[in-house]
Structure 1
Amino acid sequence: MPKVPRRPPQLRGRVFRGSTAVSRGLLTRNDLRSSAWRPLFRDVYADAEVTVTHPIRCAAVGRWLVPPGAAIAGRAAAGLFGCARPIASEPVDVLVPAATRTGPTTGIRVHHAEIDSGDTVERAGITVTSPARTCWDLARWLDVIEAVVVIDAMLASRLTTAPALREYALSRAGRRGWRSLLRAVDLADAGAESPQESRARVRLVLAGLPRPETQWVVADQGRFVARLDLAWPQFKVAVEYDGLWHDDPEQFHRDRQRLNRLLGGDWIVLHLTAKRLRDDFDGFLAEVRAALRARSRSPR
């Protein structure tokens, strides 16, 4: 019969350094190669029965694998703030002081840069970049749409504000990425309620359309009718993202009923699906342009 892997109780359900477990006599190097343990990084293992998430990987990196003065950064930091959802296998971004040299480590994406006082905070016992620094790094490392997706969530969570981010960027004028942060902040909106709504809004604005209002409430004689994802109220044109991102079919059904009432009035409501956002955004953009153009020419 195959040998049953050793699973000392001290290590069950835990993430640990392999070298420490070996030095304490809990495991041998051969034991670490068994199916009982899952390697996460060099010399870092998890009980195979643990569901390894990105925050768990961040915690391991922050505890054992970063040099002094470094911090979890980028999307990894945003995930720890609850403003991004990196998949478990996504590399962990780490910001390291410019003068510190580090070698490559599989699963970790290292960025060297100057780190100012106040640019790091503690989050769940891990050193991470502050909300403002996280937004700056995202504006430098990602394309503007994906940076705005996370900045929207940061603003919605009240971790920072648009004026504070503008001040942060201007105080670093001349340093790489300060203009990128200003641009991202100008496109950001705390009213976005999902990443796909953010992507749709920013793509519409970058295509030259007027900036829409987010979560616009339509009322009839003081009574609530509907709340619209994106709206140009002066034209009574709206965009609804039909992604079922809230995973609530009943809420989706109620929303559609309200929107049908709007369609019986004088609003134009255009529905954007995930497929069209991905595969036919140009076609959808043409429809929005046509609706806005028609409304701008007709009396209301």
Structure 2
Amino acid sequence: MPPQPHRPATLAWQVFRGSDAVRRGLLTRHQLRGASWIRLLHDVYADARLDRDHRLTCQAALLRLPPTAVIAGPSAAYLHGVEHAASFTDEVHVLVPREGRVGSHTGIRVHSADPVEAGPAPVPIGASPASATVGAGLRPVPVGLGRRPVPGRAAATATPDTTTATVSPTAATISPTTASPNPTTASVGPTAARAASGASGRGGRSTVIRPASGAGCRAGGGGPIPTSDPARAAWETAVWLEPVRAVGIVDTLLREGLTSRDALAVVADEHADRSGGRRARWVFDLADPGAQSPPESHLRVRLVLAGLPRPVAQHPVRLPGGLILHPDLAWPDYRVAVEYDGQWHADAEQLHRDRYRLNQLVAAGWLVLHVTSRRLHRDFLGVAREVRSALFARGWRHP
């Protein structure tokens, strides 16, 4: 039989600093290089049974940063439930106070920020009461434990700016595995948090109290992760990412009900005078919660950036028999529609239903174009040219 992997109970299902584990005698440097552990960042390791996703890299990043750091932007959007916002190998976006002077770290994109006066404390993602003790001197830091994040609200402690430290992402790519949770980090409600730390909160939102790091091994448990709330994460994403990708993330935040147009308007007003404020408003204006997938969002935005009139996502078209169809993108005034054919169209039965539906749309006088994933990524200029010709044939003229 193969030898059993050496996993001290203290480090099972954890993210931890390798140097701390070696100093405490839990592992040797040779054992750290074994198959039981995965290296996430410099001196940060994790139980190899944990899922390889962006949540895990967020938890690793927290062990390289001061307790005032907040997961932000697309990384926060991922933790709120937008799975396409970031991947395991993407950089973790974090906000830190400007006076914190945090240097760059490989795999972490550090954004400096100014504190918000009387702002709410960070709100945890996936908070749960502590059910285990990591050990004396351990610093609990949130860890993803093979489970998808539960969408929820959080509040950042800082107002984001666009000053960043640019670093390269981690390059490791390993197939994910599923693990069982072993939570070790506690979260407390706002009343207890204020009593313990003297911090103020808003609206009864819960607050995280991070235990001070000691001289022992710093490990992570299945507790909460401090993040920007969904609306603020949308603003950060709009400012930090290129617009096509940013709009796709904001579309999903809106579609899933994680934020709203009103909330986006509020955060845009709050940051109107900050660097990136105009860009964020522009991205918010391009967002459409009707988009059913990131590629549909990307196609819509790229067509607009190509100078075409803005299409409507999932516009309802009532046919003479009473059936209502919803093409992916539509220009109702010109009766032109575009359908994005993604990988799911490989299903024969779905393809049959889809083509039958679109044939009815054509019979009703609509001009329907199809765009595949390959053409979106390899021949977008040709796609834009075809859509422009179709609109021109139906009476559209460039202003």
TM-score under structure 2 length normalisation: 0.68
Q: Deviations over 1:256-294 (max 9, x none)?
A: 221122223311100011122122222221221222222
Contact 2:338 / 2:369 at 8 angstroms: preserved in 1? yes
Amino acid at match of 1:141: W
Specify the alignment match of 2:64 in structure 1.
65
Are residues 93 and 264 of structure 1, via their aligned partners in 2, closer, same or farther at CA, if it must alter by over 3 Å? same
Cα deviation for residue 3 of structure 1 reads 8.2
- Which residue, 224, 227, 249 being the options, matches 2:323? 224
Amino acid at match of 1:122: P
Q: Structure 2 regions of 5+ residues with no counterpart?
A: 127-223
Cα deviation for residue 5 of structure 1 reads 5.5
Specify the alignment match of 2:247 in structure 1.
148
- More off after superposition, 155-164 vs 232-241: 155-164
Cα deviation for residue 231 of structure 1 reads 0.7
3-state DSSP class of the match of 2:323?
Answer: strand
Percent identical among aligned pairs is: 49
Q: Deviations over 1:114-146 (max 9, x none)?
A: 243248432121001111221221122112221
Specify the alignment match of 1:122 in structure 2.
124
Contact 2:230 / 2:258 at 8 angstroms: preserved in 1? yes
Specify the alignment match of 2:82 in structure 1.
83
Are residues 253 and 66 of structure 1, via their aligned partners in 2, closer, same or farther at CA, if it must alter by over 3 Å? farther
Cα deviation for residue 107 of structure 1 reads 1.7
Q: CA separation in 2, counterparts of 1:254 and 1:200?
A: 23
Specify the alignment match of 1:136 in structure 2.
235
Contact 1:148 / 1:184 at 8 angstroms: preserved in 2? yes
Cα deviation for residue 103 of structure 1 reads 2.3
Q: CA separation in 2, counterparts of 1:39 and 1:207?
A: 43
Q: CA separation in 1, counterparts of 2:120 and 2:275?
A: 18
Specify the alignment match of 1:46 in structure 2.
46
Specify the alignment match of 1:190 in structure 2.
289
- More off after superposition, 20-29 vs 77-86: 20-29
Are residues 244 and 217 of structure 1, via their aligned partners in 2, closer, same or farther at CA, if it must alter by over 3 Å? farther
Cα deviation for residue 4 of structure 1 reads 7.0
Are residues 222 and 199 of structure 1, via their aligned partners in 2, closer, same or farther at CA, if it must alter by over 3 Å? same
3-state DSSP class of the match of 2:394?
Answer: helix
How many residue pairs align between the two structures? Answer: 295
Q: CA separation in 2, counterparts of 1:120 and 1:209?
A: 41
Contact 2:15 / 2:59 at 8 angstroms: preserved in 1? no
**Is 1:215 matched with 2:310?**
no
Contact 2:247 / 2:287 at 8 angstroms: preserved in 1? yes
Q: CA separation in 1, counterparts of 2:300 and 2:49?
A: 41
Cα deviation for residue 23 of structure 1 reads 4.7
Cα deviation for residue 243 of structure 1 reads 1.3
Specify the alignment match of 1:258 in structure 2.
357
Specify the alignment match of 1:271 in structure 2.
370
Are residues 137 and 246 of structure 1, via their aligned partners in 2, closer, same or farther at CA, if it must alter by over 3 Å? farther
Specify the alignment match of 2:104 in structure 1.
104
Q: Deviations over 1:36-87 (max 9, x none)?
A: 322112332122343322112212333x232132211122111111224222
Amino acid at match of 1:181: A
Contact 2:247 / 2:284 at 8 angstroms: preserved in 1? yes
Cα deviation for residue 7 of structure 1 reads 3.0
Specify the alignment match of 1:27 in structure 2.
27
Contact 2:319 / 2:361 at 8 angstroms: preserved in 1? no
3-state DSSP class of the match of 2:264?
Answer: helix
Q: CA RMSD in A?
A: 2.4
Specify the alignment match of 2:8 in structure 1.
8
Specify the alignment match of 2:161 in structure 1.
none
Q: Structure 1 regions of 5+ residues with no counterpart?
A: none
Amino acid at match of 1:53: D
Q: CA separation in 2, counterparts of 1:66 and 1:248?
A: 46
Contact 1:84 / 1:150 at 8 angstroms: preserved in 2? no
Contact 1:5 / 1:31 at 8 angstroms: preserved in 2? no
Q: Deviations over 1:210-258 (max 9, x none)?
A: 2211112223246325320011122211000111358755333311221
Cα deviation for residue 206 of structure 1 reads 2.0
**Is 1:180 matched with 2:279?**
yes
Amino acid at match of 1:106: T
Are residues 250 and 113 of structure 1, via their aligned partners in 2, closer, same or farther at CA, if it must alter by over 3 Å? farther
Structure possessing the higher relative contact order (Cα contacts under 8 Å, 6 or more residues apart): 2
Contact 1:135 / 1:151 at 8 angstroms: preserved in 2? yes
Q: Which has the higher strand share?
A: 1
- More off after superposition, 170-179 vs 8-17: 8-17
3-state DSSP class of the match of 1:216?
Answer: coil
